[in-house]
């Protein structure tokens, strides 16, 4: 692959989180009976007139501001003409030459990954944003799960008219991991401010990648291939990797690339041709005559801006400064807003922000993940986790006991104090009692003692284990270590 440079540009469509559609009052609810949520406007019946949903504009503004983009005071809706069965009007209302936002710049943190998939070195990268515009979604052709699908296509227009924001970048990405980190950045920002659920699996965040390669030093871009059907950020990353290797392979063997659209097939792990350039559309854009220009006053933008929560990157930096967390810990804790809120509350109650971070990252997140929950709906409240961290820090219970207590808290919803009282858990730190257990263990293991004294120091761990076991996990490991060292040397 050396000698080649990869060029990637991305388009993201995200569904704005409104209750009704962008140009009519129909519900945007997912999973309803097909064609239930339709009306003359979103069915494209003659004479029906669109009316812009104010909330869609507000959420579009939140999305733009969360990404640090400027909002134009005036933008124009345009008709994008093409024929497709799921598009009843024969055109999509979108924005073209005067979009909601244009010429922005976004700063992301990105890192290449090693063989094991771990980030190597995080660095800042600036991505030029060509535009963010508002538009309506199309409906959906259904080819599965209905009678005679081999003979008929079915059309569900529930989705037609759902508000979308489309974000287009310049071809600024040079690796698949940069693209991966960018999409995750955008997704987190949109979820964070409530603009979109931004869930790729549900299809409310969709992504397309334009990929080409060129010889290092070439000025001219190579032939560009558009990748679709990227149903997760990871699929997108893999699709780009595959495509780069394929393109270089074609060019190095003297072949030529076609400008085409290719679909990612996750099962086969490859991209396949969907359509070639000959079928590409000329959309004949023109201004939508049924909608006036969208005027967005500065006061509106300022009101939206002042209503935003502290944004994820700012919060990550603050976590590092205020709580002394590492970049990767702070990044993980700000990967989602309810988790960041959870952490701050737990940190405050625990009195130890670093320990709270460790407990959340190593213990709580594992429980949440296996239960398929976000921190915001954790059965263990942040205050309760903070209280548990404090109990362990104060050595009222051992770390090992604490972990078991957390699992029990997660299952039963009881507080740490209740579980500790019910189970009679205490950590024994009294050196007299620990000495007694150590003496028993030493007496019971004369051979190991002999070997240890003869220089086999690895047996120290064996003795620690025996003492912990004899104390049923209640002995304070720090005291055990100290006392054992003394006892094993002396007795």
- Site for Zn ion, rule CB under 5 A: 24, 26, 39, 41-42
Cβ of 286: how many Cβ atoms within 10 Å?
12
Q: Which is nearer to Zn ion, 38 or 110 (CB)?
A: 38
Q: What distances in angstroms separate CA 217 from CA 139, 154, 221, one per listed residue? A: 44, 50, 11
Give min distance, CB of 161 to Zn ion, in A. 6
- In angstroms, the CA 438 to CA 449 distance is 12
Question: If you ran DSSP here, which 8-state letter would residue 309 be given?
Answer: P
Q: Which is nearer to Zn ion, 24 or 64 (CB)?
A: 24
Cβ of 124: how many Cβ atoms within 10 Å?
8
Structure token digits, residue 191: 């979820």
Angle in degrees, CA 405, 406, 407, rounded to 5: 90
Give min distance, CB of 91 to Zn ion, in A. 16
Give the pairing of strands 140-142 and 154-156. antiparallel
Give min distance, CB of 64 to Zn ion, in A. 25
Give min distance, CB of 293 to Zn ion, in A. 23
In sign, the C-alpha dihedral spanning 183, 188, 191, 194 is negative
Q: Which is nearer to Zn ion, 159 or 337 (CB)?
A: 159
- Beta strand spans in 229-269 (E): 260-265
Give min distance, CB of 89 to Zn ion, in A. 12
Q: Which is nearer to Zn ion, 24 or 325 (CB)?
A: 24
Q: Kindly give, in sequence order, each residue whose CB lies less than 8 Å from that of residue 415, ignoring residues fewer than 6 positions away.
A: 384, 387, 409
Residue listed under structure tokens 């209750």: 19
Q: Which is nearer to Zn ion, 42 or 392 (CB)?
A: 42
Q: Which is nearer to Zn ion, 7 or 48 (CB)?
A: 48
Give min distance, CB of 23 to Zn ion, in A. 8
Give min distance, CB of 20 to Zn ion, in A. 8
C-alpha closest to that of 476 among 432, 444, 441, 443: 432
Q: Which is nearer to Zn ion, 41 or 132 (CB)?
A: 41
């Amino acid at each position: 692959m050396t000698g080649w440079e990869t060029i990637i540009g991305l388009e993201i469509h995200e569904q704005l989180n409104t209750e009704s559609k962008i140009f009519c009052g129909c519900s945007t609810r997912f999973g309803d009976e097909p064609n239930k949520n339709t009306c003359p406007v979103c069915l494209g019946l003659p004479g029906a007139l669109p009316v812009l949903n104010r909330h869609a504009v507000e959420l579009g503004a939140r999305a733009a501001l969360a990404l640090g983009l400027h909002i134009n005071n005036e933008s124009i809706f345009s008709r994008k003409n093409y024929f497709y069965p799921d598009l009843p009007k024969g055109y999509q209302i979108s924005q073209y030459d005067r979009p909601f936002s244009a010429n922005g710049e976004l700063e992301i943190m990105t890192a290449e990954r090693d063989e094991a998939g771990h980030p190597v070195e995080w660095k800042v990268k600036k991505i030029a944003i060509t535009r963010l515009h508002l538009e309506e979604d199309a409906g959906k052709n259904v080819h599965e799960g209905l009678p005679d699908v081999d003979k008929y296509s079915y059309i569900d227009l529930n989705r037609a008219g759902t508000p979308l924001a489309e974000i287009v970048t310049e071809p600024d990405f040079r690796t698949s991991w940069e693209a991966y980190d960018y999409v995750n950045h955008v997704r987190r920002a949109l979820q964070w401010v409530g603009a979109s659920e931004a869930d790729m699996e549900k299809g409310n965040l969709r992504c397309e990648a334009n990929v080409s390669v060129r010889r290092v030093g070439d000025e001219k871009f190579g032939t560009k291939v558009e990748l679709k059907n990227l149903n997760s950020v990871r699929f997108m990353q893999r699709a780009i990797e595959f495509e780069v290797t394929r393109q270089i392979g074609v060019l190095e063997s003297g072949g030529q690339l076609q400008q085409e659209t290719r679909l990612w097939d996750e099962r086969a792990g490859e991209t396949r041709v969907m359509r070639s350039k000959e079928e590409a559309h000329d959309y004949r854009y023109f201004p939508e005559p049924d909608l006036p220009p969208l005027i967005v006053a500065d006061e509106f933008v300022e009101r939206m801006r002042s209503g935003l929560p502290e944004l994820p990157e700012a919060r990550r930096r603050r976590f590092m400064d205020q709580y002394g967390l590492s970049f990767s810990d702070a990044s993980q804790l700000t990967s989602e807003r309810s988790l960041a809120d959870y952490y701050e509350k737990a940190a405050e109650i625990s009195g130890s922000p670093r320990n709270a971070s460790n407990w959340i990252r190593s213990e709580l997140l594992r429980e949440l993940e296996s239960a398929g929950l976000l921190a915001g709906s954790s059965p263990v409240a942040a205050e309760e986790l903070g209280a548990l961290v404090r109990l362990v820090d104060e050595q009222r219970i051992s770390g090992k006991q604490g972990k078991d207590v957390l699992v029990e808290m997660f299952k039963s919803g009881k507080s740490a104090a209740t579980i500790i009282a019910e189970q009679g858990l205490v950590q024994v730190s009294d050196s007299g009692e620990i000495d007694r257990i150590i003496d028993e263990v030493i007496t019971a293991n004369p051979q190991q003692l002999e070997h240890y004294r003869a220089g086999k120091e690895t047996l120290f761990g064996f003795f620690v284990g025996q003492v912990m076991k004899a104390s049923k996990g209640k002995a304070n490991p720090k005291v055990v270590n100290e006392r054992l060292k003394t006892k094993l040397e002396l007795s």
